[in-house]
Chain A
Amino acid sequence: MLSAYSMEAFLHLVAGVLLVGQCLFWVVMAVALGRETGAQESVRLLETINRGAWPPVGVPRALRLSLPVLGWCFLLALGATGGLLVARHAPFPDGLFAGHFGHVLAAKMALFCLLLVGHAIATFRPRRGIAFVNGALALLIVGVSALLRH
């Protein structure tokens, strides 16, 4: 049976995996469309994908989620579980961002904020460039997370 901490960590990992998967999907599509089509056609097809709804069957159309909205769900889950995990290390006598843990946490949160901005841009203007930026940010966050040991 998972402890509360382990459950939070598990959900954080699952949300992270799904977000990285989505970022990778956009990178793959950006690369593939860049090779196969012209710039205008790439944009048109990326916007077509952006409008795709999930799940495609079994749920009324009005309740389906677009791929960007799914991404927001993953980001929300990451933020919430991340907050719970950080709170477990409280209290912070020298401040939240003090020491090795704090510095790495600050870097991770800064990258996460950048990814929020990147995802907001991609939500309304899905383009090849922002797909690569978001993919790089997601991987950087994973890398920084490995350094996050209290």
Chain B
Amino acid sequence: MSLYRVCLVLHLAAAFLWLGHMFFWSVFAGPVLKKIGPPETGARLRALSLRMGGLGWPALTVLVATGIVMLGVRGIGVEALVSGQLLATRFGRALSLKLALVLAMIAYQAVFGHRSAPRAIYLNMLAALLVLGASAIVAGR
């Protein structure tokens, strides 16, 4: 298996685990566990579900590292990223959007980490959805 494929496997695994944790806990598991009765049982289960902590920094580390390698294999270097030449193609525009959103998510992770952020988390999830959309375009190249 080539280096590119190994990086792609790790990139996808990190993305799915991180975003899956983010979406499923925030949208489904958290609200469901809050309403499980009796209240002591619900509280206990919620506490247990949060034991693992956040996946943000480990996932972002893998995502950035593997992303840099994959861009390099595709011949996309720093110059292409900063010069604006990527914006000439649909693929390039989608990639630029994806990278910009990833930077925003890194900023969110740095400010909030795994702490509760009732409103900002939804902006972070919106960014994640847009990253997935951009990834669908990038992967289709």
Task: Please count how many residues in chain B sit with their CB below 8 Å of the partner chain's CB atoms.
Answer: 39
B117 CB-CB contact with A under 8 Å = no
B23 CB-CB contact with A under 8 Å = yes
A102 CB-CB contact with B under 8 Å = no
User: Complex: how many Å from CA A56 to CA B34?
Assistant: 8
B105 to chain A, nearest CB (A): 14
A55 CB-CB contact with B under 8 Å = yes
Contact B49 A25 (CB under 8 A): yes
Contact A14 B13 (CB under 8 A): no
User: Which residue in A13, A49, A54, A56 is a CB contact (below 8 Å) of B135?
Assistant: A13
Chain B residues near A142: list those with CB within 8 A.
9, 12-13, 16
B132 CB-CB contact with A under 8 Å = yes
Take A9-B140, A146-B8 as given contacts and tell me if A67 and B17 are in contact as well, using a CB distance cutoff of 8 Å: no
B25 CB-CB contact with A under 8 Å = yes
User: Which residue in A6, A22, A33, A55 is a CB contact (below 8 Å) of B140?
Assistant: A6
User: Which residue in A24, A31, A32, A55 is a CB contact (below 8 Å) of B31?
Assistant: A55
User: Which residue in A17, A31, A36, A54 is a CB contact (below 8 Å) of B16?
Assistant: A17
Spell out A's residues near B (CB within 8 Å).
Answer: 2-3, 5-7, 9-10, 13-14, 16-25, 28-29, 31-33, 36, 45, 48-49, 52-57, 67, 70, 139, 142-143, 145-147
